Amino acid sequence: MFMPCGSTIRELHHTDEQSLAEASLPAGAQTQRHFHAVTEEIYFLLEGTGEMEVDGSHQRVGPGDAVLIPAGARHQITAETALRFLCCCAPAYSDADTFFDELEA
């Protein structure tokens, strides 16, 4: 397991073409806002509730919701209650393709 962007990630599948991971985020936490230049993502919510922001558009999310995150779209998820969700990436997730917004002081 590793913790990019503030969430705990468990990789389930990884090829050059795609990857699938399970992410968890404790209540009250949020990921660091970031984007992927090449990779498109889909978040599929399994447990918990929160708010998903994609390029300035905000929506409440909960179990059964899927959110498309196009390549280049800045995004962040905030947990109201503990979240568990799947992250599907195509092409596969890469640290080299992950760019973080500056943290505000």
Predicted confidence at residue 32, as pLDDT, reads 92
Nearest to 36, CA basis, from 60, 55, 61, 11: 55
What's the angle, vertex CA 88, arms to CA 54 and CA 12, rounded to 5?
140
Q: What is the spatial distance between Cα 81 and Cα 71, in angstroms, rounded to a whole number?
A: 27
Q: What is the spatial distance between Cα 93 and Cα 105, in angstroms, rounded to a whole number?
A: 28
Q: Is the peptide bond before 91 cis (omega within 30 degrees of 0)?
A: yes
Q: What is the pTM of this model?
A: 0.90
Domains of the chain: 4-94 (2.60.120.10)
Largest Cα–Cα distance in the chain? 38
Q: What is the pLDDT along the chain (105 residues), one digit of tens a residue?
A: 444 556 889 999 999 999 999 999 999 999 999 999 999 999 999 999 999 999 999 999 999 999 999 999 999 999 999 999 999 999 999 999 999 998 655
